Structure 1
Amino acid sequence: MNPDDFADRVGAEKSTELDRLGSQQLLVALTGADLEPEVVLTASANSEHSAAETFAEWADGSDDARETFERLADQEREHYERVVAELDEFEPLDSIDSMQAYLRGLDDDISRAGGLVGRSLVGNRTLLQVVNFFVNEADKRRANLFRDLRADTRENVEDGRAVLAECCADDDDWNRAFDVATETVQIAYDDYADALTGMGLDPKPIC
């Protein structure tokens, strides 16, 4: 395994889960089927806030990748501020989702970089659905806002690969990063599936 094919291999391993996370049902799961602009924005703001806090924690505990994680924390804070600016009022949730809890439990740069790749692959799908939502709402400005956020998130895959290229010394390191990346996707998918199942919906169809 190497930096050039790492993300592709993660994507191939979790292709079904990622396809379903990129379905129209994703926002149903994230909003509890309350598909109003304010609710979608609130869910997005909480996601950006949680990510910023996660990357800040990683930066504090990192040596080799501190600069990368600090930059990502700043990026997510900017994302958060841009989304919150669209809301009349907002208070971040005290709780975090299962994926962020898993990511915060990672304690070395190789695992964190693997988690970054997995989180970015998930975020790319999530943000596409937010873009599509605002396109359908005929809200071009907000659709463009989330296009910007999605473009940054796609680039974060490369950030993860760059850290891995710097830190991985052998196949065991690459395999460990791969396991973390795929587990990150799986946890995000399980949350999605559980939310839909709890509403009596089938998470399997891909729209």
Structure 2
Amino acid sequence: MDPADTIETVRETTATELDRLGSDKLLVAVTGATLEPAAVRAAAATRERGLARTLERWGVEASDTTVADVFTDAAADAVDRADRVDADAEDDDALVAHLETVADSPARVGAGLVAPALVADRFYLQVVNFFLNEPDRASADLFREIRTAAADLEHARVALESLSSEEREQAAAAAVDAIEAVYADYAETLEAMGLDPRPVC
């Protein structure tokens, strides 16, 4: 399994979860139904700050130089995105909380580089749509740029290149676990609000 196959495996395995995380209910869940610009920005800042903190620590702990450098670079990119969001972070969200449980380096590549990019693509799609509906074109444009940056899988590809085929399988499994953890939290949050996380057909 090469890096491209690894990423595609994760994407295909979690297609249902990612599709549902792209629902307009997502911001209801992550803001606690507080659909206001400040709350949406805080959710974005929380994700990026928490991701940056975790990846920075992993960069220090990684024994593989390439993987360590990728974690460090990805952390710096997350800090840049958080700075552009310009909001205070709150308590760690479900993704960052899950990352704190991941120990092995191959698993960290999947959970910390592959999964966040795939989830970010869905999350920031809804953030862009939110600001378009405000209407706040400047903020929508900003978050469109942040979405492109956050969903970029180049860091993941570089790190996966340094892993063996067996380690890529571990990375793929860990990425799937991370996405499923995010989805489980999303579904449980909506169900507690009396909402169905499944799409209405």
The more displaced of 17-26 and 107-116 is 107-116
Q: Which residue of 1 aligns with 2:149?
A: 152
What is the aligned counterpart of 1:181 among 169, 175, 193?
Answer: 175
What is the aligned counterpart of 2:74 among 54, 72, 75?
Answer: 72
Give 5+ residue unaligned stretches, structure 2: none
What is the aligned counterpart of 1:122 among 119, 126, 129?
Answer: 119
Q: Which residue of 1 aligns with 2:105?
A: 109
Q: Which residue of 2 aligns with 1:81?
A: 83
SS where residue 178 of structure 1 aligns? helix
Do residues 6 (structure 1) and 2 (structure 2) align? no
Aligned length: 198
Asked if the contact 1:19–1:206 (Cα under 8 Å) also holds between the matched residues in 2, the reply is: no
In angstroms, what is the RMSD of aligned CA positions? Answer: 1.6
For 1:160 and 1:109, the matched residues in 2 are separated by 13
Asked if the contact 1:62–1:108 (Cα under 8 Å) also holds between the matched residues in 2, the reply is: no
Q: With structure 2 as the length reference, what TM-score do the two structures score?
A: 0.92
Asked if the contact 1:54–1:100 (Cα under 8 Å) also holds between the matched residues in 2, the reply is: yes
Q: Which runs of 4+ in 1 moved over 6 A?
A: none
Asked if the contact 2:131–2:139 (Cα under 8 Å) also holds between the matched residues in 1, the reply is: yes
Q: Deviations over 1:25-55 (max 9, x none)?
A: 0001011111111111111111111111111
Q: With structure 1 as the length reference, what TM-score do the two structures score?
A: 0.90
Q: Which residue of 2 aligns with 1:20?
A: 20
For 1:4 and 1:83, the matched residues in 2 are separated by 30
What is the aligned counterpart of 2:160 among 132, 157, 164?
Answer: 164
